A and B are shown apart, each in its own frame.
Chain A
Amino acid sequence: EAGVAQSPRYKIIEKRQSVAFWCNPISGHATLYWYQQILGQGPKLLIQFQNNGVVDDSQLPKDRFSAERLKGVDSTLKIQPAKLEDSAVYLCASSLVFSKGTGELFFGEGSRLTVL
């Protein structure tokens, strides 16, 4: 079974530039998550989708971050304009069940962003 695919794996940009990350979840997984992981910290949830609808985006900095999940399959996370503090690994995860607490999250390898 193919895992969660993310691209690019690495991206270096200058502040105020824009960047986009792509995620393709495991086939059939209805729920998709984007996390931000700053070095030395645990992953922080940015946004959660159920199919193509947003379940929770309370921690997404909406002035610069946006995400979409067209057709309820793959998803794109965009940052525009980027700030130095956005340097982090952006992790995508998916789960089969819109969870009743039992939904295991499957993570991709992440996209490492460096903002100079």
Chain B
Amino acid sequence: LAKTTQPISMDSYEGQEVNITCSHNNIATNDYITWYQQFPSQGPRFIIQGYKTKVTNEVASLFIPADRKSSTLSLPRVSLSDTAVYYCLVGGSNSGYALNFGKGTSLLVTP
């Protein structure tokens, strides 16, 4: 399984753009990169998924360089409600679907 490394925590002010980078040096050819968000006392919630280049949806963007050894989740203009833990997962058909979440990145947004 591809191991992921993320910063333990990040702080931001409201209205700023937040970029969280995840390293996954041993990503396999068929692996996808998926990000989840978790609020206290709730299960994780899917944010975005990508394979290469850039993916954008209504809440975030995901940037994946050509070598795919890292990825960056970008949250535009964060608000207080974006305070949560963000997890980067890597998995696919060849590496199995034992989708273990790492320790994640705890994002704190303040006024």
Q: Residues of A with Cβ closer than 8 Å to B?
A: 4, 31, 33, 35, 41-45, 48, 55-56, 58-59, 91, 93, 98-110
Looking at the complex, which of B59-67, B73-81, B90-98 is the stretch in contact with chain A? B90-98
Tell me whether A104 and B49 are in contact in the complex, defined as CB-CB below 8 angstroms, given that A56-B96, A109-B43 are known contacts.
yes
**Interface on chain A toward B: helix, strand, loop, or mixed SS?**
loop
**Interface on chain B toward A: helix, strand, loop, or mixed SS?**
loop
Q: How far is the CB of A59 from chain B (nearest CB, A)?
A: 7
From A4, A41, A100, A104, give the contact of B92 (CB < 8 A): A100
Interface residues of B in 26-50 (CB under 8 A from A): 30-32, 34, 36, 41-46, 49
User: Is B103's beta carbon under 8 Å from chain A?
Assistant: yes
Provide the residues of chain B in CB contact with A33, threshold 8 Å: 99
Closest 6 CB pairs of A and B: A107-B43, A42-B101, A101-B32, A101-B92, A104-B46, A43-B101
**Interface size, B (range):** 20 to 34
